[in-house]
Structure 1
Amino acid sequence: MPKLILIDGSSYLYRAFHALPPLTNAQGEPTGALFGVVNMLRATLKAKPEYLAFVSDAPGPTFRDALYDQYKANRPPMPDDLRAQVEPMLAIVGALGFPILRVGGVEADDVIGTLAMQAHELGIEVEVSTGDKDMAQLVGPHVTLVNTMSNTVMDSNGVMEKFGVRPDQIIDFLALTGDAIDNVPGVPKCGPKTAAKWLAEYDSLDGVIANADKIGGKIGESLREALPRLPLSRELVTIKTDVPLEFGPTELAQRDADVAQLRELYTRYEFKAALKELDGQEPGIGHPAGGLPDGRPAPGIDQATAAGSPAAPDAALSAPGDYELVTTRPQFDAWLEKLRGAELIAFDTETTSIDAMRADIVGISLAVEPGKACYIPLGHDYPGAPKQLDREEVLAALKPVFEDPSRPKLGQHAKYDINILAHYGIAVQGLAHDSMLESYVWNATATRHDMDSLAKKYLGYETIKYEQVAGKGAKQISFSQVDLDTACRYAAEDADITLRLHHALWPKLESVPSLRDVYRDIEIPLVPVLAEMERRGVLIDGDELRRQSQQLGKRMLELQQQSYALAGREFNLDSPKQLQAVLFDELGLEAKLKTPTGQPSTNEEALEAIAETHELPRLILDYRGLAKLRSTYTDKLSGIVNPRTGRVHTSYHQGSVATGRISSSDPNLQNIPVRTEEGRRIRQAFIAPPGWKVMAADYSQIELRIMAHLSGDEGLLRAFHSGGDVHRATAAEVFGVAPEEITTNQRRAAKAINFGLMYGMSAFGLARQLGVERGEAGDYMGRYFSRYPGVRAFMDATREQAHRDGYVETIFGRRLYLENLNARNAGLRQGAERAAVNAPMQGSAADIIKRAMIAVATWLKDRDDAHMLMQVHDELVFEVRSEAIEEVRAAVVERMSGAAALAVPLLVDVGVGANWDEAH
């Protein structure tokens, strides 16, 4: 999606003023806040958004002053040192090419809110750069807040973590708490915790007002006294999203910078790093970014990349690199000799596509010592491109090196490069390290694990970005069109930084043997397994998908007609505005959830909340579910069949889920619904070739078995060792009746408890799931813990360990770090504790299936009658020659069952069929 970055200018200026020391230039003019703003703006421009704007308040009163004459009456006047920096700031902002927006009668927040909503409707991703808590009400699926001082991003989950309420509740939250700075009257003595508690119980400000007489104590009295003022408070804190503007989001492209004016301003205010950037010596290329003008790191501004950052373990690992462009045979031969004597070879490929199954190689970069690397161009074909070495000769010469398992190799996301080289007949052997996985195992949540982020965090080094050499958007060129000198600088850096990252990260892993073993014994051996699965792909029946698309379309049409009948008129089921009108204005249904703008929400959660009150919301949900299946799978899968292979190839990701689980994308094969008939039917299109069958092997209740193992609870262990139905056994314990007398509802309740406890479900959550009173659900849970005391002891001990260490561990020693364990907000703290209890189960299950995949792949290595195709949660999917089914079934079950030595059996269910649905 194209991106719009909206900068809250006032927030930028005040935050920079308070965060930075009171700097001055030689003339004694204050420059601290100005310096901070300039640095943040330069960082924004490096992100190269399609649209951007700097929004600040216009002089004069706003509509809020008319509503309440005491609005912002308590604000102190702007400090003189700060006021002196406003005009220079606006001059620099304009000279950089930012559109500057100042609209009279409203605040900057309202302009930002209006543009954010307009951009969202146009399919533009919005990033609001601010530190203002009020902006949290704008957060949604494609609207996030970015705090450039702390380098943090806040999405919907972040709002919930920070405030304890949903984004659509922020307005009501602010109305209750009030704002002393803006002089917004709220409820006296109502702090964030109380407001979040009330909104959790009553959902909205209107709900709180309606139930004010039920709230006791002095806080209840304060609430009742404040009732007349609350509507005004809500109006004051609500950001307008309908400000009449003479421009739209797509008119906010960056203008050409006024370099002469920038040079004059940067010189006057002594911004040396910015001046170097103007002269083409960008700090982000080849060496660490600068800090304050006097050489000190800038507090709160990109500290990880500041010169002398403690993130850099070794000055040599942050120094500029020395890179060689290899275009002659003597140069290449010299590098071949270096490879033959190297202790570790870092390698990277440059290609024509990020899709490894469709990409052609353009060049290879290599490094054998930090700071030195080469780039061998093989396919640059722009007009006037210099002569390059013959691709086939180079790859033939490198093949013995890459295929020698005794020569250790290193990559960054090496799976991609392994697949690229496989297209040219090179089967990479001896992968010893992957810097992406070193970071992921060391701390999965500390940072993203792409090279740019890792270099910034662990080396204090700002890498060259792809957009800097190839452009972006519609004007982006293929890497084969990049000139050789620029390509060398970018590509050789990749191999060099990969090697530097290894030197920074590997000692960390070696210092913790359990993490070293997870990395060495699970993650690294899994790389070639996933690479081979990706290359193999899965066979798709396109005719079957087309038939299903037609059936889904017919059913969607039926749902449309039924919806029209219920509404009494035709309307667009895909239009939130028309749906709002039908549900809430015409049918008079009560809206349970609101959008960030205070409108009744029609998202999935909102429709589920009212689905019991009227038939239409359920029909809309069904319609949307079918539409998603059609657009995501039945219409799409046939179109992404690879013409080279005739199969669909997903991409598996090792470094994206904190618990260690593998995810997949393009297409995501792990999200095909299995609980609906239409979802299951999609699996019928995943077929085997003639003479082959699809075989699916699925762990049975693996996380419950891990819970039994970790807790050591005698009752739970006994239930699994008996070989019977564990949910029926749990029901017998909880309800105190013989297993054969358990009713369907009792078993359902026991199943909800078994799985719910692992995810930290409360009595309230269980009551809602079972449709019973909270007290009854609490009784169920109490009886469960009395019958399974070991489970309670395990959960308590795990929470205690999490608070003590800041992380929990899987059976194999993978660490799962948790934020907010000591948060003051009870909701955030309890959420982190729930995650702490569940993470060992999820993480251990992830480790077990990875170990199983490695064991199965080793057994399959020399066979041509079976192939592992897919990994979906706790399931492995194979295609097997019909005559080999029984042998392969037995071998797979043996290896999956033996992937961990638990205190209970690891059971594996296996199915076989002509397609995935039959085998499941």
Structure 2
Amino acid sequence: MKKTITVIDTFGFLFRSYFALPPLKSREGFPTGLLTGFINFISNIGKDFQTDYIVFALDAKGNTFRNELYDGYKAHRPDVPEDLLKQLPIAISWIEQMGFKTAIRTGFEADDIVASIAFDAKLKGLEVRIVSHDKDLYQLIDDDTIYLFDPTKKVIINEEKCFEKYGVHPSQFTDYQSLLGDSADNIPGVKGIGAKTAEALIKEFGTLENIYENIENISKKRTKELLLEGKEMAFISKKLVTLSKDCHMIDNLEEFILPLENPILKISDILVKYDMHKILEKVNKNGMGYKTEIPKEVEKKEDKVEYILLDNEHSLSLVINTIPRDSIISFDTETTDIDVTKAKIVGFSFTYEENKAYYVPIAHSYLGVGNQISMEAARQAIIQLNRYKLVLQNFKYDYQIIKHNFDVELKLYADTMILSWLLNTNEKVGLDYQIDKHFRHKMISFSDVVKKGENFSNVEISKACEYAAEDALMTLKLFNRQLEIFKEKNEEEILKLAFDVEFEFIYVLAEMENNGIKIDVELLKEYKEKSNKYISELTSKIHEISGVEFNINSTKQLGVVLFETLGLTASKKTKTGYSTDEAVLSSIENEHPVIPLLLKYREAYKLQSTYIEPLLELGLKNEDNRVHTSFLHTGTATGRLSSKNPNLQNIPVGSDSILQIRQAFIPKEGYKLVGIDYSQIELRLLAHFSQDEALVEAFKNNLDIHYQTAVKIFGAELAKEKRNIAKSINFGLLYGMGSKKLGDTLGIPSKEAKIYIDSYFEAFKSVKDYLKSIEDFAYTNGYVKTLLNRKRLFDFDSANAMMKAAYLREAVNTLFQGSAADLIKLSMIKIYKKYKNNDKMRLLLQIHDELIFEIKDEFVESFTEEIREIMESIYTLNVPLKVSVAIGNSWQELK
């Protein structure tokens, strides 16, 4: 039986590994995606394939003989991502450290090394497996002895696969590439010759030389002309694609023997350093076909952690009464539901010590349940704990739970979830993630203790104690670590922002959630009936016009009807069927009368399924017909609020439909809805930051900024009719809108849009430089700061060109949108404090730059003026802040 040598196209494999895996990082922030893919591959040797010998072929730095043949060779290769470059030398160093052999030679590429070793190994009677999916190596395939192995798909690429994919045999592959060229390596080929023509020519004539010997026999005039024009480049291309077979021999075969010991054993300490524990665990568990197994990692000795159950009032009181006066206490609740309006408390946990935490069971409910604490005793204990500095993870939830269940208002010292967000707005803020990141500790998951279909009250008290007490203990550990990080990074400014603004803001959100907003359920019932009728009529028309009955909501069935039954122009078909999204339908709107009906159906169905039915269901859940959303404080990187269950941030403003969803949001009887909206707040911030004289003067003189912009760009005569264009430019620039996007928005050529933008920057001279300075600062420093010094981080080092461009746009966007969010947040806190417990006025919603209140009829005028004063004087910019006010009997009327 033949022995096998495996030759690795190392750089090709590592590059593919990098792009195939997500951007993994160690706890220290070092990229590890490529390294993980590489070690995964090593760990699978012996399972994915058996081999006797193995060698890693490497590229030599610098030019090769191909650059001498053709100056343009590989001339247009894109920049390699910084993260990839950081990992490459480490991966290469690991090859030798693991006991493998590498092969490299100056002036040649890894492909030449692979080809030479394959050729030499074949002469030595070996079977050759080349680990690569690179088509440049297809020319080496010889089914008897040489084949490729794709390590990602774990498939062998032989002569049959080559012919199946390209229609030519491996022996003809260099001739095929000579005609076709290769854009990746900037190999020219014959200009104008595509894959199908190249395939046909090779099938007919076999080789490049034979094609030109029979050039007069080529029937297609255009093909013949192209071949004659591109003859020189065709033969240069053949030299470029043909691999060298004599640049590397394997004289001493014994050097390339697969290591007898597990190679990963030799670098296990390095893998631990890069936090690649999972690989080590996998190898431990599954082995590698090697005799030697990796020893289990020695666990670090830690002080013993105690989770103590306080299930009688004596023990509970004793612990609470022995807590030192200056303690910081971590506190957490366990409940029956994530919805605070329905949740009942089951127990709570707390800690003030390093390695000890307590759990107090209150309302566990199962057969044989043990001792628990009464609601009154629990309430008294919470009142006592509330005298200390309380630290919580997601305080808003626990605050509402304690308020609803005990009528006690918790006082917050710090929220670790908010601190996680302020340290990095792009990162997950969940406790499990943060604890794993900072302490390499896997927390007990909720699903491990609560069975499907049950809630926390069904959990055995001893298990509940371990789970809940761990939450409290780890929250305190996280808080202490976060304080260290703020100090290490000199971010005391952001920490101050947390204590002065962000923690205060949580109370505002909790109050808004508790207030809810009233829904006109009768109107929604009417809408539902009209909507059902309209959708039914549209369905009948669509079936009639298309000549076939089908499920309109099934994209698969719709695709078949449109692009097969009706034969309309289809976009590319994928494995899942034809695309029928809105863009596709809009592009063929004029091809068939069914398309406009489908677009109307989609709009009507979305309105019904996304808004009418869910809002009606929520409105009918309680007697006062109020809907209670959940506001996400940490839901965006810019600092804007988002909301869920339901999402009230994107309720349609109104469409051509008679069903106006905002009409169904109403005040309670005897009250009005009042909308107070910051006027052009982001443009005012632009004037403030850029200090552009023209912008500042326009706002100081209370002029219509869009009209003034139109005057500057188009002149006074056209200003009125061009105001909307000016408005699009004003706001577009804040969101990084270029000439193409502006052109698309306005329906004009991008050249014309560019002239508008250039005219704008000519009129407002400081703006262009200022916007560029934001981008430059973000790129240099890796972050941007809002008005209140909240930071958003950008990882430019590991970003490709497209991501970098997006980051620069987001940096500009974040400065203005985030600063606007800061201002409205300050206003909301001040309004909350002024009107707290005032039943004549409630703050219901914040929709970006607008606040919506429910105010008793007789106080509308006075309260509105007071709120206007607060909002316009909340922060001193070098231009005045202005608000607009709208009053109505529904949200729709506030437009």
What TM-score results when the alignment is normalised by the length of structure 2?
0.70
Pair 580,751 (structure 1): closer, same or farther in 2 beyond 3 Å: same
Residue 685 of structure 1 deviates from its aligned partner by 1.6
Alpha-carbon offset, residue 594 of structure 1: 3.9
User: Does residue 442 of structure 2 align to residue 442 of structure 1?
Assistant: no
Alignment partner of 1:516 out of 485, 495, 520: 495
Unaligned runs of 5+ in 1: 1-7, 31-60, 87-100, 110-170, 172-179, 193-217, 233-267, 273-290, 307-314
Pairs within 5 Å for 1:350-749? 350-402=334-386, 404=387, 407-445=388-426, 447-471=427-451, 475-510=452-487, 511-564=490-543, 566-591=545-570, 593-594=571-572, 596-597=574-575, 599-611=577-589, 616-641=594-619, 642-643=621-622, 646-678=625-657, 681-738=660-717, 741-744=718-721, 746-749=722-725
Q: Deviations over 1:313-350 (max 9, x none)?
A: xx999866321011122210122214562421211000
Distance of aligned partners of 1:305 and 1:643 in 2 relative to their CA distance in 1, 3 Å threshold: farther
SS in 2 for 1:362: strand
CA-to-aligned-CA distance 1:236-269 (integer Å, 9 cap, x gap): xxxxxxxxxxxxxxxxxxxxxxxxxxxxxxxx99
Q: Does 1:348 align with 2:332?
A: yes
Determine the C-alpha separation between the residues in 1 that align with 2:561 and 2:143: 44
CA deviation after TM superposition for structure 1 residue 651, in Å: 0.5
Task: Indicate whether 1:327 and 2:311 are aligned.
Answer: yes
Q: Closer, same or farther in 2 for the Cα pair 1:581/1:743, shift >3 Å?
A: farther
Aligned to 1:190: 183
- Contact kept? 1:673, 1:680, Cα under 8 Å: no
Distance 2:733 2:444 in 1: 47
C-alpha displacement of 1:702: 1.6
**Alignment correspondent of 2:738:** 762
Q: Deviations 1:612-641 (Å, cap 9, x if unpaired)? A: 666544432332222122112211122224
Match of 2:39 in 1: 19
Deviation at 1:695, TM superposition (A): 1.2
User: Between Structure 1 and Structure 2, how many residues are aligned?
Assistant: 695
Structure 1 residues 868 and 24: alpha-carbon distance in aligned structure 2, compared to 1, 3 A threshold: closer
Does the aligned pair in 1 maintain the 2:334–2:345 contact within 8 Å?
yes
CA distance in 2, matches of 1:683, 1:222: 62
- Using the TM superposition, give the Cα deviation of residue 700 of structure 1 relative to its aligned residue in structure 2, in angstroms: 1.6
Aligned partners of 2:412 and 2:503 also within 8 Å: yes
Match of 1:341, as an amino acid? Answer: R
Structure 1 581/486 Cα, relative in aligned 2: closer, same or farther at 3 Å?
same
Q: Distance in 2 between matches of 1:425 and 1:186?
A: 80
Q: Output the CA distance in 2 between the equivalents of 1:24 and 1:588.
A: 48
| Superposed displacement of residue 720, structure 1 | 2.3
User: Which moves more between the two structures, 812-821 or 428-437?
Assistant: 812-821
CA contact (8 A) 2:335 2:346 kept: yes
Superposition pairs of residues 279-298 of structure 1, within 5 angstroms: 297=272
Query: 1:524 and 1:796 mapped to 2: Cα distance?
Result: 33
Alpha-carbon contact 2:664-2:890 (below 8 Å) kept: yes
**2 CA distance for matches of 1:821 and 1:655?**
25
SS at match of 1:225: coil
Aligned pair partner of 2:783 in 807, 812, 836: 807
**How large is the RMSD of aligned CA atoms in angstroms?**
4.5
Matches of 1:781 and 1:771, distance apart in 2: 15
| Structure-1 separation of matches of 2:628 and 2:775 | 41
Structure 1 residues 337 and 580: CA distance shift in structure 2, 3 A: same
Worse-superposed segment, 458-467 or 713-722: 713-722
Q: CA deviation at 1:900?
A: 2.5
- Map 1:51-200 onto structure 2 (within 5 A): 70=138, 73=141, 188-191=181-184
Q: Kindly provide the amino acid, as one letter, of the partner of residue 394 in structure 2.
A: H
Structure 1 residue 439 displacement after superposition: 0.7
Q: Hey, what does 1:902 align to over in structure 2?
A: 877
Residue of structure 1 equivalent to 2:820 = 845
TM-score normalized by the length of structure 1: 0.68
The alpha-carbon deviation at position 897 of structure 1 amounts to 1.6
| 1:279 alignment counterpart | none
Q: Structure 2: how far apart are the matches of 1:76 and 1:361?
A: 71
1:706-728 per-residue CA deviation (whole Å, 9 max, x = no partner) reads 12222211222223233232212
Cα deviation, 1:522-570, whole Å, max 9, x if unaligned, reads 2100011111111121121211111111222233234334434553544
The aligned counterpart of 2:231 is: none
Shift of 1:467: 0.9
The answer for the alignment partner of 1:784 in structure 2 is 760
SS in 2 for 1:345: strand
What is the distance in 2 between the residues matched to 1:14 and 1:713? 47
Instruction: For 2:144 and 2:655, locate their aligned partners in 1 and report how far apart those are by CA, in whole Å.
Output: 60
Instruction: Return 753-762 or 337-346, whichever deviates more.
Output: 337-346
2:521–2:625 CA contact under 8 A, matched in 1: no
- Does the CA-based 8 Å contact 1:373-1:495 persist in structure 2? yes
Amino acid at match of 1:412: Q
Does the 8 Å contact 1:338/1:368 carry over to 2?
Answer: no
Structure possessing the higher radius of gyration over alpha carbons:
2
Q: Aligned-pair distance for 1:572?
A: 3.0
Q: Distance in 2 between matches of 1:598 and 1:855?
A: 53
- In 2, the alpha carbon distance for the partners of 1:809 and 1:390 equals 49
SS of residue in 2 equivalent to 1:395: helix
Say if 1:697 and 1:908, in contact at 8 Å, map to a contact too: yes
- Structure 2: distance between partners of 1:430 and 1:359: 20
Q: 1:759 to 1:14 in 2, by over 3 A?
A: closer
Per-residue deviation, 1:226: 3.8
Superposition deviation, residue 915 in structure 1: 1.9
- Structure 2 CA distance for aligned equivalents of residues 565 and 231 of structure 1: 46
Q: In 2, Cα distance between the equivalents of 1:191 and 1:424?
A: 65
Report the CA distance between 1:444 and its aligned residue: 0.8
Please tell me whether the aligned partners of residues 340 and 401 of structure 1 are also in contact (alpha carbons under 8 angstroms). no
